[in-house]
């Protein structure tokens, strides 16, 4: 027996890593998006700042992107790269996507209070 794993074992390992990237991407995006949209979800003072566009459209799209982007990048990267390089590419592109989301998506925030004199 050789020390080289079979093709089926490699495929299962790559599939498991893709599932791991999916779970981590969904969790990180969920924490990021829900913390940014918390004021919109709570509604602020007497619910006046509740924005249904954020709640029903933007937040689900952000969460869907966090669920789909990492495994799609992983699937594309494993086609032509070694698994360790594909993992680096997946982490890099997912990080850039999260950074781009942070610079583009600005749900309503609570008003800043003026300092007391």
Tell whether the model's pLDDT for residue 107 goes beyond 70: yes
Contacts of 93 (CB under 8 A, 6+ apart): 69, 73
Burial 5-31 (b: 16+ CB within 10 A, else e): eeeeeeeeeeeebbeebbeebbeebee
Model pLDDT for residues 23-43, shown as the tens digit of each residue: 998 999 999 998 888 888 877
Model pLDDT for residues 52-94, shown as the tens digit of each residue: 888 888 899 999 998 999 889 988 998 888 888 988 999 999 8
Give dist(CA 109, CA 31) in Å, integer.
Answer: 16
Q: What pTM was estimated for this model as a whole? A: 0.75
Looking at residue 40, its pLDDT comes to: 81
Give dist(CA 65, CA 89) in Å, integer.
Answer: 17
Give dist(CA 41, CA 51) in Å, integer.
Answer: 8
For the chain, domain boundaries: 15-104
Tell whether the model's pLDDT for residue 96 goes beyond 90: yes
What distances in angstroms separate CA 19 from CA 3, 12, 51, 74, 112, one per listed residue?
26, 10, 33, 10, 41
Contacts of 34 (CB under 8 A, 6+ apart): 41, 59
């Amino acid at each position: 027996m050789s020390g080289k794993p079979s093709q089926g074992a490699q495929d299962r390992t790559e599939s498991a890593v893709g599932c791991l990237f999916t779970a981590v991407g969904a969790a990180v995006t969920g924490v990021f998006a829900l913390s940014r949209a918390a004021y919109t979800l709570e509604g602020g003072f007497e619910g006046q700042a509740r924005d249904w566009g954020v709640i029903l459209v933007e937040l689900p799209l952000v969460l869907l992107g966090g669920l789909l982007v990492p495994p799609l990048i992983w699937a594309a990267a494993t086609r032509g790269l070694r698994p360790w390089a594909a993992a680096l590419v997946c982490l890099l592109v997912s990080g850039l996507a999260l950074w781009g989301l942070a610079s583009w998506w600005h749900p309503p925030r609570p008003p800043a209070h003026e300092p007391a004199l």
